[in-house]
């Protein structure tokens, strides 16, 4: 198929989408502020800050997608007058506002923690009185990787929390969920309505940033049906096309939805080697109107983010069963600059691989959590 897909954003997700598109004879273009973005080597970049660049971008491709849920809706509104966008605008608008998102979860009977809208110091005080403490106060829009959040544990923190987040505008206060772990489910929906899901990933974080994911999530067979049901409700309700991610908390009362991401997701990077068809290829297939591929797992897999500093390439590649992905990004504290996929034969080999990898990574804290399969 000779087709071009335009992607809002040119970061590592756009880069990996383009890498998955090339074997299918599908080209990608990108709308991105930085001309030397990670995806720049894989297609033409249209500078998002330049005059007339949006129109040039629209003319560059047959159909469009995105790699970042904070893609400006104003740009999307111009685009959809002329071309198709997958996922749909509605999904993007809802994902950009946590209050709308929680409202959609409520509408579809997807369990969430109790929450209240906050728009003043007085309404924050009322939310604390109604929800109790602790609560998580978040900006309704913006914020990612732990940014735009304040965990409020005592009443004497109310004014501090408001001072830090109040200027951002609309906020949401959520009851603190006591959970044993976080998991995510990723699914893809084709233009014909077909839905396929990958197994749950168990996610571990360090300083609010995803450090590693284990797939399939250990001891999760009983959780998979409910997670699939919830994400399928979202996909069908939104008439969604492409990959969608739903982050979930595992609690003693079952699964609670945290948030959705209308795009390919960090916790799905394992699928490049670990699944028959990766999240990136299936997203491209869906956007292009092609049949979806199998989401079956090839082998249990662990994906480890490279954060801040690069390890030595030769050291990583010397590990048996390790696959290295670098994003063409400069080093910076807290920045995701690549990932490593480990594909052990068994739990014992995984333990050994993790010990070896911990010696290689400049920031071995990514491997501090239990990584048993």
Mapped onto helix, strand or coil, the DSSP state of residue 124 is: helix
* 14, 20, 21, 25 alpha-carbon torsion, rounded to 10°: 150
Number of helices and strands in the chain (H, E): 12, 17
115 is in an annotated binding site: no
Phi-psi region of 22 (alpha: psi -120 to 50; beta: other; left: phi over 0): alpha
Nearest Cα to 339, choosing from 249, 262, 273? 273
Mapped onto helix, strand or coil, the DSSP state of residue 44 is: coil
247 is in an annotated binding site: no
212 is in an annotated binding site: no
147 is in an annotated binding site: yes
149 is in an annotated binding site: yes
355 is in an annotated binding site: no
334 is in an annotated binding site: no
Mapped onto helix, strand or coil, the DSSP state of residue 108 is: coil
CA separation, residue 151 to residues 53, 134, 148 (Å):
41, 7, 10
CA separation, residue 194 to residues 43, 135, 191, 360 (Å):
29, 38, 7, 42
105 is in an annotated binding site: no
143 is in an annotated binding site: yes
Enumerate the β-bridge partners of residue 137.
150, 173
144 is in an annotated binding site: yes
335 is in an annotated binding site: no
3 is in an annotated binding site: no
CA separation, residue 28 to residues 57, 62, 142, 253 (Å):
11, 10, 26, 44
Joined tokens for residue 234: 């979202």
349 is in an annotated binding site: no
List, as residue ranges, the binding site for ATP: 98, 138, 143-149, 174-177, 182, 205, 258-259
List, as residue ranges, the binding site: 98, 138, 143-149, 174-177, 182, 205, 258-259
């Amino acid at each position: 198929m000779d087709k071009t897909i335009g992607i809002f954003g040119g970061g590592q997700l756009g880069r990996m989408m383009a890498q998955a598109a090339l074997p299918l004879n599908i080209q990608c273009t990108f709308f991105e502020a930085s001309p030397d973005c990670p995806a720049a080597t894989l297609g033409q970049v249209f500078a998002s800050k330049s005059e007339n660049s949006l129109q040039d971008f629209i003319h560059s491709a047959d159909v469009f997608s995105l790699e970042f849920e904070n893609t400006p809706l104003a740009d999307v509104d111009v685009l959809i007058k002329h071309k198709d966008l997958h996922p749909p605008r509605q999904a993007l608008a809802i994902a950009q506002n946590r209050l709308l998102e929680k409202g959609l979860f409520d509408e579809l009977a997807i369990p969430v923690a109790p929450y209240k809208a906050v728009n003043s110091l007085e309404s924050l005080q009322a939310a604390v009185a109604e929800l109790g403490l602790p609560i998580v106060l978040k900006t309704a829009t913006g914020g990612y990787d732990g940014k735009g959040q304040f965990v409020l544990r005592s009443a004497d923190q109310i004014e501090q929390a408001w001072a830090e987040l109040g200027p951002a505008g609309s906020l949401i206060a959520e009851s603190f969920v006591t959970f044993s772990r976080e998991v995510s489910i990723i699914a893809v929906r084709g233009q014909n309505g077909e839905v396929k899901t990958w197994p749950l990933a168990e996610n571990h974080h360090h300083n609010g940033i995803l450090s590693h994911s284990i797939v399939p999530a250990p001891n999760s067979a009983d959780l998979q049906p409910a997670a699939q049901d919830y994400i399928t409700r979202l996909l069908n309700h939104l008439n969604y096309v492409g990959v969608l991610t739903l982050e979930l908390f595992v609690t003693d009362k079952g699964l609670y939805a945290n948030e959705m991401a209308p795009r390919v997701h960090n916790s799905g990077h394992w699928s490049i080697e670990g699944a028959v068809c990766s999240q990136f290829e299936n997203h491209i297939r869906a956007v292009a109107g092609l049949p979806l591929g199998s989401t079956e797992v090839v082998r249990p897999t662990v994906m480890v983010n490279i954060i801040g500093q690069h390890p030595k390439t030769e050291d990583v590649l010397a590990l048996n069963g390790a696959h290295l992905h670098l994003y063409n990004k400069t080093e910076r504290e807290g920045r995701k600059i690549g990932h490593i996929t480990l594909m052990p034969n068994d739990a014992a080999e995984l333990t050994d691989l993790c010990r070896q990898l911990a010696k290689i990574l400049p920031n071995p804290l990514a491997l501090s959590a239990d990584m048993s399969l």
